[in-house]
Amino acid sequence: MEQSYADGAVAGAIIMVALGVLVVFLIPLIFYLLTLQKALNRCSPENRAMAPGLVWLMLIPVFGFIWHFIMVLNVAKSLGAEFQKRGITEDPKPGQQLGIVMCVLSCCSIIPLLNMLSSPAFLICWIIYWVKIAGYSAKLASPAPLPA
C-alpha cells in the first residue's frame, strides 16, 4: 500500500513539473504569436499574404514546425507589400532571412546532439526576429509623416 502511494506522489510531481515547463514555454509563444498577429492586422487586407488569425496554427504539435516557415514567408511578404504601399523604405521582405534561419534552427533543435548547438542559436534568433517584427509593426502603427 505504501509503495502505490509513493508511486502516485511521484507521478503527480512529474505531471506538475511537466505542466510548469509547458506553461513557461507556452506563455512566451503566445505573446510571440500575438505580436505576429498584430503586425498582420496592421497591414491592409489587400497586402496580407495570410489572415492574421492563422498564426495560431503554430500551436499544433509537429505541424507548427512546418507552419512556422510558411508564417515567416507570409509575414515578410505582407509587411513588404504594406511598406511599399505606404512608401516606407524598407527591405522588400522584412525579417524573412532571419526568420528562415530561425525556423531551420528550430527544426535542428529536435535532432539529438545537434540540439546542443542549435537550441541556443534558435532562442537568440527567435528573440531577435520577434523584436524585429514588433519594430516593423510599430512602424506601421505610427502615423504617416506629413509632407514637407
What integer pLDDT is reported at residue 85 of this predicted model?
94
C-alpha grid cell, residue 9: 506522489
Cα–Cα distances in angstroms (integers) from residue 70 to residues 42, 79, 129, 133, 136, in the given order: 19, 14, 15, 15, 19
Q: What is the pLDDT of residues 29-64, one digit of tens each?
A: 999 999 999 999 999 999 999 999 999 999 999 999
Q: Which of 15, 75, 21, 81 is nearest to 47 (CA)?
A: 81
What is the mean pLDDT, run by run of 10 residues, along the chain of 148 residues?
Answer: 69 87 89 98 97 97 96 98 93 96 96 94 98 97 66
Q: Which amino acid is at 88?
A: I
What integer pLDDT is reported at residue 37 of this predicted model?
98
